[in-house]
Structure 1
Amino acid sequence: MAIVCMVKTGNISSETRLNSSFPEHCTNHMDDQNSIENAEFDWDKSTQTKLLSSFFYGFICTQIIGGWLSDTYGGRRFFGVALIIAGIASLVTPVCARTSVNAVFVVRVILGLSSGLVLPSGNSIIGRWAPIMEKSKLTSFAYLGGFTVVWAIAWFLCIRDTPDINQWISKEELNYIKSSIQFDTSKRTAVVPWCQIAKNPPFLAILLARFCVNWVLYALVTSIPTFMKTVLTYDIQSNGAVSSLPFACQVLTGFLISQLVDYLRKKCVISTTFIRRLCSCLGFVGSGVFLIGTGFTSCEDREIAVVLLSLAFLFNGFHNAGCLVNNIDIGQKYAGTLLGLTNTLAIFPGMVAPIVTGILTPNDTAEEWRNMFYVCAGVCLLGTVVYGCFASGEVQEWAKDETEINFEKPENNEKIENTKF
């Protein structure tokens, strides 16, 4: 959204209008927008797509190493330092933008490098803290945190790498957590079984599913404000609120579906494998269908377009209880490493999707944007087939400790074993 407000938009040519499907009153409204626009920066579309992609050039570099370091030495310090650097990088971005476009490029790469540590280190901590029936809800809470320096300070004061070294946890809570985790959280992670992971079908299913989820997400995150402005002809004042609505739907759905899924798993109503597959398949199918519908809208029915986009993002939130948390299910003590691996592949859409969108929509006509939505729907179909066939919710053999670990279990502890659906 920021880049739409910051950058001047060139006038749409008469030839483009004649070849487009915009009604006359829509193109007149576009003339009004172009004539009154007073944006600060004159960056062409190629420069904008490069700036949007630059974040991911740094983001991809710290995924695997961040996950491995967090699993080996604890994720607390890496998570906190990354938040501080990311917060500072965000604060200096406006100054850099007024200095040089190259400075913006550099600071966004730095922002990507620091942000790339956050998800793997956070996942590593969740793998050591989350009881087996509460993984979905804890993951949904973790990803709502903001990149702020103040929040990072609070993080260092309150968070510990494992429950064993937390000074505020009660004995009953410690026993409850450890009784439901199938490895010794007090020990450092041993050598990572790279070959077994690389050949594991459930892991490969997560890998591809994460790629598909991120393709759709990054393609839309970087393009929705432009689509709202050029095709639906929302003005800048309306664009911010309207563009944020789909993302609000995704956050809300992700939070609610995570609570529901963990409740059903705790009551032994469904198996973890079934619910992970169901959530992500619903997420892919729902998003794909509503994105195709969005491609057939214009400024004449722009309210319908906003509803369809919001529904597409609403279904995208289902992945919070599907493939986005699944690596903790199958590889608990290697959760940080697994997320680093899956996110490395999943970052490529962040670098490529904005460029592909720019190629598909050179004139920003409704027909061109329809092709972009078709591509996203095709990616959703691929994710549905692969993840629906090969995903698993069970801890894999290579992720289990060699010897059985016995912990004192609290009285009246709820049954934590999954019932097969």
Structure 2
Amino acid sequence: MGTNVEETIEESRLRENAPCLLSKRWLLAYIAFISFMFVYGVRTDISVAIVCMVIDNKTASTANISDPTCVANANASQGYDRAEFHWNKGEQSGLLSAFYYGYIFAQIPAGWLAGRFGGKYVLGVGWTIAAIATLLTPVGARESIYIVYALRVIVGFFSGVSYPAMQSMWGRWAPPMERSKLISLTFSGSFVGNILTFVISGYLCAEGFDNGWGSIFYVIGAANLLWVIVWFIFVSDSPSDHSSITDEEREYIVKSIGDTTKRVTSTPWREIATSRPLYVCVLSHVCFNWLLYTIMAEVPTFLKKVLLFDVKSNGLLSSAPFMAMAVTSLGGGQVADFLRTHYLSTKVTRRGAQALAFFGASGCLLGTGFVTCSNRYVGVILLCVAVGFMGLCNSGFMVNVVDFAPRYAGVLFGISNLFATIPGMTAPLAVGAFTPNDTQEEWQTVFYICTGFGLVGALVFTFFSEFEVQPWARENVELDLHDMGMDDNPKKMKNGDATKSGVQNEGFVENGTT
């Protein structure tokens, strides 16, 4: 097995000499993984909590159910008796969407602030405020539904800094041939966060304090606050800022990426606005989020209303798809970087992972719509496989902005995530509109729409994505040949010559490839 042509011999030597699993870049990945677990807790806690908060005036009809098991399940699914609120279907959909009305406005500012000032404090402050708003939710709910709307918008805005600011940090920390592994590990925390949130929320709904549902917000909010302390103590904005990083690791990262001490002081907005690779990422991201947000927000309702699971089972089974997603995301990142290092180009690897993710998820979601209560565990399996396929997106479009413009990864992902937040605002409303009676036929329409988004995303990314560093994403840094030991005369070189000489500049030219 040889070294991939995208990695120079010098970079390969530095990578082999630098520490790996116990290194500071991997420590950042471990801490970020857990951080994303918690940030997704405050994001999705209401999806299960709302099932326990709202008094269900509709008793599941058993008149047209012939299967005795389904009749028993329908009766069991009505058993929760600690709900407090008479919120109608539209109000519930509005609460599930409110998060994204704040989330959407955080994307570009978060990426810009992280690029200019560093991501550590942007993330830490954002997560702190989101945790406090989560802790206040039970009190607000008992005062007015409008206070809950406002708190969910606040949680959304301050959680919304997460992805753009983290992408900006990885633009300074992730060597090119380790990007898939490090970024996939980081964002896999969100899937594990979904798992734990659904499981814990289902248990707390039935057994917790403060009428069950209230304890969900207290437990998750407090855990977030405690973890932010760990983040501030152990995380640095860049390798050059880290006080205890080894010289070998710092040299490896800086030679692979460039000088990470300098902040981005200007942004090529015109070039960004006309960038085709960015448009491809945006469309792929929108399609992915329609599927993901529909599943995150609405699966507990689908399991209760159509497949007739009780509240305890609901929380556990709602988490099962994200267990599969965590596995495929982590495993996919390892496999993707292995293939890129030894066998395949970045282009083939990314496109293959993304196509498999979208096509696989679309097929499984289409089948889910035809599952009935009689074979309801088949529905759970199909959901698990569908969301498992979606985990491969972390080796596809999710890391693509770091491929073609790592210097501006934070602001680019902020732009992409801004548009991709629209499904979070509209998908719950659309599901509410299409499922007024929560019949199986109505839910089939929901899964048809998901399938359509998946197919469009697969085709667009497969045929139009790009991976080489874009010209506008490089910075023309002048280098003194005398300082480089190449000439006694102080001549200057531009980007291209420096790259040919094996010197990486601040433009983050991946592996010397332009």
Task: Give the structure-1-normalised TM-score.
Answer: 0.92
2:244 equivalent to 1:168 = yes
Paired residue for 1:331?
405
2:156 equivalent to 1:82 = no
1:65-144 residue pairs with structure 2 within 5 A? 65-143=109-187, 144=189
Offset of residue 25 of structure 1: 5.1
Does the 8 A contact of 1:64 with 1:337 survive in 2? yes
Letter paired with 1:229: K
Give CA-to-partner distance per residue, 1:306-341, whole Å, 9 cap, x none.
000000000010001111111111111101000100
CA distance in 2, matches of 1:418, 1:245: 42
Offset of residue 6 of structure 1: 2.0
Offset of residue 26 of structure 1: 2.6
Letter paired with 2:231: W
Q: 2:446 aligns with which of 335, 358, 372?
A: 372
CA distance in 2, matches of 1:327, 1:105: 33
2:291 equivalent to 1:291 = no
CA distance in 1, matches of 2:186, 2:337: 15
Paired residue for 1:199?
274
Letter paired with 2:426: V
CA distance in 1, matches of 2:358, 2:502: 42
Q: Which runs of 5+ in 1 are unaligned?
A: 410-415
Structure 1 residues 418 and 251: CA distance shift in structure 2, 3 A = farther
CA distance in 2, matches of 1:32, 1:162: 53
Structure 1 residues 408 and 417: CA distance shift in structure 2, 3 A = closer
Letter paired with 1:212: C
Structure 1 residues 106 and 408: CA distance shift in structure 2, 3 A = same
Letter paired with 1:4: V
Offset of residue 29 of structure 1: 3.6
Higher relative contact order (CA 8 A, sep 6+): 1
2:232 equivalent to 1:185 = no
CA distance in 2, matches of 1:383, 1:32: 39
1:220-235 residue pairs with structure 2 within 5 A? 220-235=295-310
Offset of residue 204 of structure 1: 0.8
Paired residue for 2:415?
341
Offset of residue 408 of structure 1: 9.8
CA distance in 1, matches of 2:453, 2:307: 24
Q: Once structures 1 and 2 are overlaid, which stretch shifts more, 200-209 or 2-11?
A: 2-11
Give CA-to-partner distance per residue, 1:326-364, whole Å, 9 cap, x none.
111111110100010000000000000000011111100
Q: 1:239 aligns with which of 294, 314, 332?
A: 314
Letter paired with 2:367: G
Q: Secondary structure at the match of 2:443?
A: helix
Does the 8 A contact of 1:86 with 1:111 survive in 2? yes
What percent of counterpart residues are identical?
Answer: 42
Offset of residue 365 of structure 1: 0.4
2:50 equivalent to 1:3 = yes
Offset of residue 22 of structure 1: 7.4
CA distance in 2, matches of 1:318, 1:212: 14
Does the 8 A contact of 1:123 with 1:336 survive in 2? yes
Does the 8 A contact of 2:127 with 2:159 survive in 1? yes
Does the 8 A contact of 2:60 with 2:78 survive in 1? no
Letter paired with 2:123: F
Structure 1 residues 102 and 22: CA distance shift in structure 2, 3 A = farther
Give CA-to-partner distance per residue, 1:19-64, whole Å, 9 cap, x none.
xx87565356424533664423221111110000000010011110
**Size of the alignment, in residue pairs?**
408
Q: Hey, which bits of structure 1, 4+ residues long, moved more than 4 A?
A: 21-25, 405-409, 416-419
Offset of residue 192 of structure 1: 1.1
Does the 8 A contact of 1:22 with 1:298 survive in 2? no
2:90 equivalent to 1:46 = yes
Q: 2:103 aligns with which of 48, 59, 84?
A: 59
CA distance in 2, matches of 1:74, 1:408: 28
Letter paired with 1:343: N
1:344-359 residue pairs with structure 2 within 5 A? 344-359=418-433
CA distance in 2, matches of 1:315, 1:363: 30
CA RMSD, Structure 1 to Structure 2 (Å):
2.2
CA distance in 1, matches of 2:164, 2:63: 47
Q: Secondary structure at the match of 1:275?
A: helix
1:16-55 residue pairs with structure 2 within 5 A? 23=67, 26-27=70-71, 29-34=73-78, 37-55=81-99
Give CA-to-partner distance per residue, 1:219-247, whole Å, 9 cap, x none.
11111000000100001111111111001
Task: Give the structure-2-normalised TM-score.
Answer: 0.75
